[in-house]
Structure 1
Amino acid sequence: MSETSFVKLLAMVGPLITKQDTAMRRAITAEQRLTATLRFLATGRALQDLKYSAGISAASLCGIIPETCEAIVAALSEEYIKCPQTPEQWLEIAEEFGRLWNFPNCGGAMDGKHVRIVQPAASGSFFYNYENFFSIIFLALVNANYEFVFVGVGRNGRVSDGGVFANSQFAHMLRSNSLSLPNNDVTHANLNFVFVADEAFPLTSHILKPYPQRLLNRERQIFNYRLARARRVVENAFGIMANRFRVLHTPINLMPHKVDKVVLACCVLHNFLRMNDSNSYSPPAMLDTENLESFEVIPGEWHASGVAMTSLQRQQHVGRPSADAVLCRQQYCHFFNGPGAVELQNAIVHEQAS
C-alpha cells in the first residue's frame, strides 16, 4: 500500500475509530489502530507477537482489530464492493467479461473457500469440515478485473458444501428473481445471463458449470475451456488476496463473528488496492497468464506461497438439473462451437487431445 492510499484509507476510516482521551490516559490514535490492524491482516501474526511491534497490549488488540475491520467495511464497502442493482450495471460487467475473456453475458465468476479458525470454546464439531480442520465458509462473486462484487461469509465449515450455496443470500436472491438480471432480449445472441462456477455449484438456468470429464466430446471440451478461462478470475482474486493478507493462511484465533469482520475487511481492502494501487498490490506477474504459442497457462506469482485456501468440495448434486438448466448449457456449448468460436480454442483443444 502506498503512502497516498494509506492516507486516503485513514481519512475514510479514521472518524469511525477515533476515541476520546480521558483524564486517566490518552486514547490510542486512529492511525495506530489502523496500522496495527493492517499489520495483523498482512502477516497473520498472533496478538501476543503483534503487541511488540504495535506497542499495544494483546488484550486491547483483541478488541481494536475487529472494530477497525468493521469500520473498514462500513466506510469502504458502498464504494468498493458494488453488487449491481440494475440490468444495465450487470451488462457493464458482462461487457468486460466478453472483451477480456471472450465469455458473453457473464455477470461474474463464483467460488467458495474455507477460512481456517481456531476451534471456538464449547463448539464441538460445529465448525469441523471435510478436510479435518475448523473453518467458516466464504463465498464470493468476482468480476472480470479480479474484484469482488458480492461476498457472503459466516456459515460454519461443517455444513455440507453442496448446501452452502443453496442456503446463501446470493442463491436466495437468484431464486426469487431479485437480482435484476438482464432479459434475453438484450443479451448477446439472446442467451441467458449467467454466472460461471465449478463442480461445487449446481447447474441452473443462470449458473454454468463444466461438463463432467466422462461425458466429454470435442464440443464440450471447447465449452469447458471457455468456461475455465472465465473462471480463472475468481481463482486469481482469491490467490492474490490470500497472498497479500496472510491472515487467511493461518487459523484465525478470534470468535467466529469477529472472523467474519476480518474476512470482509480483506475483501474490501483487496478491491480498494486493486483500484488505487494495482501495480504494487497485484502487478501483472502476480496473475496467471496464457502462453499463446505453447497453449500453456503460466502460473502467477501468487502460487509461489505454496499454501492455498481450501476450496469447497466438488461433488455431484442431489437430483437432476432442470431442463432449462441443461438447455442453457447446451446453447452456450453450441454458441462457442459456432458463431461465438475464437481461433485460440481449437488449437488448445487439439493440444490437450494430443
Structure 2
Amino acid sequence: MQEHFMPFPKTSEERQAKAVHLAQRWDYPHCIGAIYGKHVLIEAPANTGSQYFNYKHTFSVVLLALVDANYNFIYVDIGAYGKQSDGGIYSASTLGRALSPPNSLQLPKDDVINGDEELGPMPYVVVADEAFPLQRHVMRPYPGKTTSEEQDVYNYRHSRARRIVENAFGILSQRWRVYHTKIAVMPDSVIRIVKVTTVLHNMLQRQSKTTTELLDETSCDLAAGLQPLNRLGTRGTAETMQIREQFTRYFNTHALPWQVQYVRRELNI
C-alpha cells in the first residue's frame, strides 16, 4: 500500500540548483534538502489487527518527506504501517532505497565545496535527525552531548539546515487541521488526503507572506497530531563518519560570524 509521489528534480542542473539555494539560505553546502518522518494518526481500521498500532499506542500511517530550502515537499512516501519499526520503515521506503547505494535519486557527483581543494571532493547529501541512519548521502548530527566545540559547531549548522523540514510539517498542519485529530477514514483515503494536502501546500508556498505568517503562528512547532519517529542508535560506517568529519572541518574553517559565539552560549562556556 505504500506509495510515493512528487517529482524529484529531474536534471542534474535542477538538483544542483536545489543545493545552491539551500547553501545560500541555510548555510549548508552540498545539501539537497532535509528528510523527516511522522506518524499520521488515524482511527483504528476495521479488520486490520495491530498493523497500524504504533509505539505511542495509537493507530497511524507513516509519512516520510524530503523538503527543499523553501519548505516545498520534493519527495513524499506515505502509507507504511504504524506497527513497523522506524528503522524498517525508512529502509523499506522508496525514499530510503533511493538514498542508499547505488544512489538512484542520482544526486550530483562528488565535487569540491567552494573551491576547497584541500578538503577534496564531497558527496551531495540530505540532512536528517537521529531517527535516520548515517549514510553516504544522509547526514545525521553527532549524538548526545558532543565532546568538542568543532562537533558542536557541526551540529548547529546541521540543525539550522534540518529545521526546514520541521517548519514544513508545521506549516502543513496549520493549513489543514485534519492533521490535529485522528483521521476517521480508511487508510487508502488517508493516503489520498496526504497527497492532496502536500500538493496544495507546494502551490501555496509561492505566497511567501502566508508562509511567514504560519511560521509565526507555529513558532516552528510541529503539529500535535503528527507523532515523530523513534530515535535510532545506529552508527555509521567508517566512510560515512569520515564524510561527516569532513563537513565538520569545512564548517569550522569557513565559519559563520556568529556560530562559535552561539555554540559557546548554548554550552555556557
**What amino acid is aligned across from residue 184 of structure 1 in structure 2?**
D
More helix per residue: 1 or 2? 1
Q: Say if 1:118 and 1:306 are closer, same or farther in 2 by CA, change over 3 A.
A: closer
Map residues 167-246 of structure 1 onto 2, 5 A cutoff.
167-175=92-100, 176-185=102-111, 188=114, 189=116, 190-246=121-177
Root-mean-square deviation (CA), in Å? 1.8
Counterpart contact for 2:22–2:68, Cα < 8 Å: yes
1:313 is matched with 230
Cα distance per residue 1:195-224 (max 9 Å; x no partner): 000000000111110101243310000000
Residue 217 of structure 2, aligned match among 283, 287, 301: 301
Q: Please report how far the alpha carbon of residue 139 of structure 1 lies from its aligned counterpart in structure 2 after TM superposition.
A: 0.2
| CA distance in structure 2 between the partners assigned to 1:306 and 1:94 by the alignment | 27
Map residues 56-75 of structure 1 onto 2, 5 A cutoff.
none
1:94 is matched with 19
Residue 199 of structure 2, aligned match among 262, 268, 273: 268
Counterpart contact for 2:20–2:29, Cα < 8 Å: yes
Q: Say if 1:305 and 1:130 are closer, same or farther in 2 by CA, change over 3 A.
A: closer
1:348 is matched with 262
**What amino acid is aligned across from residue 348 of structure 1 in structure 2?**
Y
Q: Say if 1:122 and 1:140 are closer, same or farther in 2 by CA, change over 3 A.
A: same
Q: Say if 1:206 and 1:306 are closer, same or farther in 2 by CA, change over 3 A.
A: closer
Tell me which moved more, 302-311 or 322-331. 302-311
Q: Please report how far the alpha carbon of residue 286 of structure 1 lies from its aligned counterpart in structure 2 after TM superposition.
A: 2.9
Q: Spell out structure 1 runs of 4+ moving beyond 3 A.
A: 186-189, 303-306
Query: What's the TM-score, normalizing by structure 1?
Result: 0.69
| CA distance in structure 2 between the partners assigned to 1:102 and 1:178 by the alignment | 26
Q: Larger Rg: 1 or 2?
A: 1
| CA distance in structure 1 between the partners assigned to 2:29 and 2:186 by the alignment | 41
Q: Please report how far the alpha carbon of residue 306 of structure 1 lies from its aligned counterpart in structure 2 after TM superposition.
A: 7.0
**What amino acid is aligned across from residue 353 of structure 1 in structure 2?**
L
2:241 is matched with 326
Q: Say if 1:117 and 1:208 are closer, same or farther in 2 by CA, change over 3 A.
A: same
Q: Please report how far the alpha carbon of residue 163 of structure 1 lies from its aligned counterpart in structure 2 after TM superposition.
A: 1.3
Structure 1 gap ranges (5+): 1-72, 288-299
Cα distance per residue 1:263-299 (max 9 Å; x no partner): 1111000001112x3323x2x2432xxxxxxxxxxxx
SS in 2 for 1:184: coil
**What amino acid is aligned across from residue 180 of structure 1 in structure 2?**
Q
Calculate percent identity across the aligned residue pairs: 40
2:47 is matched with 122
1:290 is matched with none
